[in-house]
Amino acid sequence: MPAIKSLTLPMTEQSVRELVVGDLVTLTGDITITAGLPTHRRIIEYMEAGRPLPIDITGDTLFHLGSYSQETDGRFEVLYMNPTTSTRFNSLMPGLIRHYRLRLIGGKGGLDMACTQAMQEVGCVYLSFLGGGCPLLTDAIQSVVAVAWDDLISHYRLVRLRVADLGPLVVAIDSHGGSIYEQCTRTAEERLPEIMKALDAERGHRVVPSAATKAPDEVQPVR
Amino acid sequence: MPVTYDQVKTVAAELYGSALKKVPEDTKAALARAREAETNPVAQNVLSMMLGSARRAEEASRHLCSDAGIPTYFVKIGTAARLQGNIRQAISDGFDHLVATIQPPILKHVTNPLTLERGYKGKSMPLVSFELVDGADYVEITCSPKGLGAGRWAALEIFSFPTLDVIERYVMDCVLKAGSQHCPPVVIGVGIGGTFDYCAKLAKQASLRPFGLVNPEPILADMEARLLDAVNKTGFGPMGTGGDTTALAVHIDYAASHGFIPVAVCFNCWINRRASARIYDDGRIETFE
C-alpha cells in the first residue's frame, strides 16, 4: 500500500505541484463543496458580473460532493456527503479553475483534457472520492463553516465544511498534465483489438461450472 | 388471508431503505475476492474503502450513497395469490412513507424532465412494472433505487441479424463509453432480443440477478464468462482510477426477436442496490437480496 500524504488546507501552488497521479492523500482544513449544475452556472454568473461569491473559493477548493444539510434554528448540520460525477461539469470547469485559481478540485469519474490543461496552467489537482463512501467521508466532517444559496435544494448549495483526515483520496489528475482517466481510456482503447480477439477465440470454449450452482429459476429466497 | 395494501406498503418502504444501507452479501464477498486478487495498489486501497464503507453503513444504519436514486419496483404477481386493496397505490404510498420517515432523510432526485425541477414526487413515480407468475401463491417485489452515477450510462441499439461478435463488441463499446464514471466495479446487465422496450427490461432485470448462478442458456453462460474477462482487461478499475476489477459480474438474458434485434446494456454500481421480498398468500413475508 503506498504511503498516504496528510495535506493541510489551504495549500500553496508549490505544494500542490508536488503531488502526482496515483498519490493517496487525506485532507484536513476547510473545503467548499456542491453537486449542482445550477450552482456552477450561478458561480459563472457571479464571476462574469465581477460579484464576490458568498463563499470565497479563490486559491482554494471546489469539490463535486453532494450533501444533506439540515437547518434547525438557523444552524446547519450536514448529515452526509458523497461525490457526484464530475464529467457533468466538464464544459464549465476550465473557466472556474482559471478565474479562481483553484488548487484542489475533485469528485468522481474525472474531468476532460481541457480541464486538465487549465489545472496544469494554474497548479491544481483533481482528487477521486469514493462513490458510495458516505459513511467514511461523512465521519471526517468536523463542522459546518458556512452554507450559501439555501434557496437551492440541499445538494446544490454551496457548503463550506471543516474536515479532518478526509480520505484517503486518489490524486487522479495532477498539475503536470497527468490524468489517470485519460491514461485509462487510452489503455482500454489500445487493448480493445486484443480483447476482441480473445473474445472471438474463446467463444464456445469456456467451461461453465454446473455442479455447485443453480439455474436462476431455482433460486429461493432466504430468511 | 390475502396480500394486503398494508403489507405491500410496508414492504415497498422497507426494501427501499435496506437497498440504500446494505450491500448484498454476494456483492461484499465478490469485492473481498477482488481486493485479494488486485495487483494495483491504488485499486487495493479503493476496494478496502468500499468494504469499509459497506461495513460502516450496516453498523451505523447510514446511507452508502448520497444519491438515493429514483424509486423503481418490479412486481411479480402469483396467480394463486389473492390481493386486497389498491396494490399500485400501496407501492406509491410506501415510497412516500419512506421519504417521510427514513433517517437520515434522502435528497430530492425525482426530476421533472421538462423543467428539471426536483422533488420526491412526479408523474408515473414510483416506476412500477408488473408481471404474472402462473400458479405462485405470492407477490414478489424487487426494489432497485437507481442513481445517476450508474444509471446515466445505460444504452440500447437495434441491430439487423447481428452475430455474437457484433453483440459483444457493442457491450464493450458501452463499457468504454462509461469508462471511469459509473462507480466501478459494476454489475453489467445485458438484454438481447425482444423489442425495444422488452429488451431494456431484460437488461435491467439481468443486472439484478444474484451472483453465482449459471445462465441456463449455454451460449450466454459462455458469453458472460468471456465478457467479464474482457471488461476486466480494460483496466479502468475500482472508481475508474485504474486496476484489474472493472466489473464484478456480467449477467445476460434474451428473448426471441425479429431480424431487427435490440441489444441493451445497463450498469449497477459497486453497491449493487437491489432488495426483494415475497409476500405469501398465508401472510408470510420473506426477504432476499
What is the per-residue pLDDT for A212? 43
Mean pLDDT across the stretch B5-17? 97
CA distance A185 to B142: 35
Q: Which of A81, A170, A210 best probes binding to B when mutated, by most B CB atoms within 10 angstroms? A: A170
Fill in the amino acid letter for B246: T
Whether residues B245 and B206 fall in one domain? yes
Among chain B residues, the shortest Cα distance to A132 is held by B65
What is the per-residue pLDDT for B149? 87
Given an 8 Å threshold on Cβ–Cβ distance, is A184 in contact with B235? yes
What is the per-residue pLDDT for A221? 47
Return the percentage of chain A with pLDDT > 90, whole number: 86
Among chain A residues, the shortest Cα distance to B289 is held by A221
Structure confidence by residue, pLDDT tens digits, A81-129: 999 999 999 999 999 999 999 999 999 999 999 999 999 999 999 999 9
Confidence of residue A2 (pLDDT cuts 50, 70, 90): confident
Structure confidence by residue, pLDDT tens digits, B152-178: 999 999 999 999 999 999 999 999 999
Domain that holds residue B230: 148-268
Q: Do residues B90 and B97 lie in contact, with contact meaning Cβ atoms separated by under 8 Å? A: no
Cell numbers 449477467 correspond to B251
Nearest-CA distance B123 → chain A (Å): 20
Q: What is the domain count for chain B? A: 2
Among chain A residues, the shortest Cα distance to B226 is held by A199
Residue B107 is nearest to which of A68, A132, A139, comparing CB atoms? A68
Whether residues B140 and B197 fall in one domain? no
- Interface predicted TM-score (ipTM): 0.94
What is the per-residue pLDDT for B73? 97
Residue B37 counted as domain residue:
no
Fill in the amino acid letter for A107: G
Given an 8 Å threshold on Cβ–Cβ distance, is A130 in contact with B46? yes
* Among B104, B150, B147, B144, residue whose Cα is nearest residue B267: B150
Positive or negative torsion for Cα A121, A122, A125, A126: negative
Mean pLDDT across the stretch B276-281? 97
Structure confidence by residue, pLDDT tens digits, A197-223: 999 999 988 866 554 455 555 444 444
Q: Quickly list H helices, B86-133.
A: 87-101
Q: Residue B149 corresponds to which cell in the numbers above?
A: 452515477
* Among B95, B35, B38, B22, residue whose Cα is nearest residue A132: B22
A69: domain CATH number is: 3.20.130.10
A vs B: CB pairs below 8 A: 221
Say what the pTM is. 0.94
Residue B269 is nearest to which of A67, A132, A202, comparing CB atoms? A132
Whether residues B79 and B111 fall in one domain? yes
Residue B59 counted as domain residue:
no
Among chain A residues, the shortest Cα distance to B103 is held by A79
Q: What is the domain count for chain A? A: 1
Q: What is the CA angle B112-B114-B116, rounded to 5? A: 50
Could you tell me if residue A198 is left (phi over 0), alpha (psi between -120 and 50 degrees) or otherwise beta?
Answer: alpha
Give Cβ neighbours of residue A27 (< 8 Å, ≥ 6 apart).
A7, A9, A104, A127, A140, A163, A165, A166, A167, A169
The mean pLDDT value of chain A amounts to 92
The mean pLDDT value of chain B amounts to 96
Whether residues B122 and B194 fall in one domain? no
Domain that holds residue A39: 4-183
Structure confidence by residue, pLDDT tens digits, A134-184: 999 999 999 999 999 999 999 999 999 999 999 999 999 999 999 999 999
Whether residues B110 and B154 fall in one domain? no
Is residue B286 packed enough to be buried (19+ CB in 10 Å), middle (13-18) or exposed (0-12)? middle
Residue A202 counted as domain residue:
no
Residue B34 counted as domain residue:
no
Given an 8 Å threshold on Cβ–Cβ distance, is B56 in contact with A136? yes
Q: Which of A68, A111, A130 best probes binding to B when mutated, by most B CB atoms within 10 angstroms? A: A130
Per-residue burial over B80-97, b = 16 or more CB atoms within 10 Å of its CB, e = otherwise: ebebeeebeebbbbbbbb
Given an 8 Å threshold on Cβ–Cβ distance, is B179 in contact with A22? no
Residue B79 counted as domain residue:
yes
Q: Which residues of B touch A187 (CB under 8 A)?
A: 234-235
CA distance B148 to A86: 12
Among chain B residues, the shortest Cα distance to A22 is held by B42
Q: Angle formed by the axes of helices B41-60 and B25-37, to 10°? A: 150
Structure confidence by residue, pLDDT tens digits, A141-154: 999 999 999 999 99
More confidently predicted of B181 and A216 = B181
Whether residues B134 and B186 fall in one domain? no
Residue A195 counted as domain residue:
no
Given an 8 Å threshold on Cβ–Cβ distance, is A202 in contact with B226? yes
What is the per-residue pLDDT for A147? 95
With residue B52 as reference, give the H or E element that holds it: helix B41-60
Whether residues B153 and B255 fall in one domain? yes
Structure confidence by residue, pLDDT tens digits, B65-82: 999 999 999 999 999 999
Whether residues B162 and B248 fall in one domain? yes
Whether residues B154 and B243 fall in one domain? yes
CA distance B224 to B203: 13
What is the per-residue pLDDT for A219? 47
Q: Which residues of A touch B179 (CB under 8 A)?
A: 109, 181, 184-185, 188
CA distance A178 to A21: 6
